[in-house]
Amino acid sequence: MALLDIALTWIHILCVVLFLGTMFVGTFVLLPVLKAHLGYEERQKFITRFIPRVRSIMSIVVGLLVVTGISRALLLHFSHDGPVAAERMGVFALKIFFAAVPLVIFSVAPKVLGAKSKEGLCCDPDAEDPPLFAGVLTSTGAALHYAAISGGWIAVLFAIILSRMH
């Protein structure tokens, strides 16, 4: 049982790092660098090839993340001997809520934003949307990326708090 818990934990952590890291690098490194150094045609050509490939890999990572998360929750539930404290359940509920934010955005954004893009992309760096918030968020795609990254890291913080409550 301990070996299963260790394996599920490591796979879960690896998937979280891959998912959030890919979103972070794409949002704050790759897209700004492409916009600064490539012309429109080269940038669009790269993006129309790159994003679908990354999304297919991230779909596998997200699937593993959900499966290991549910498995770990069930394993903890069935292996816990003492009474369940209300504080622990509250932290767990907050973790689930904030973990759901990036997963829902990952699932819904391509359908919503892809309909507006001529290539069907959810993260078009050349989108000419009006600024959403004080000129900081330049597009709906950027806002969703920031919300997903923020929700993911808050979920990680709640997971750390939860692990210390044993």
pLDDT of residue 166: 59
Question: What are the beta bridge partners of residue 137?
Answer: 133
CA 76 to centroid of chain Cα atoms: 23
Closest CA to 72 of 11, 153, 152, 161: 11
Contacting residues for 2 by C-beta, under 8 A, at least 6 apart:
none
pLDDT tens track for 128-147: 555 555 555 556 677 777 88
What values do phi and psi take at 137, rounded to 5? -90, 115
pTM of the model: 0.79
Longest dimension (CA), the chain: 61
d(CA 28, CA 20): 12
Predicted confidence (pLDDT) at residue 148 exceeds the cutoff of 70: yes
Residue type, 82: G
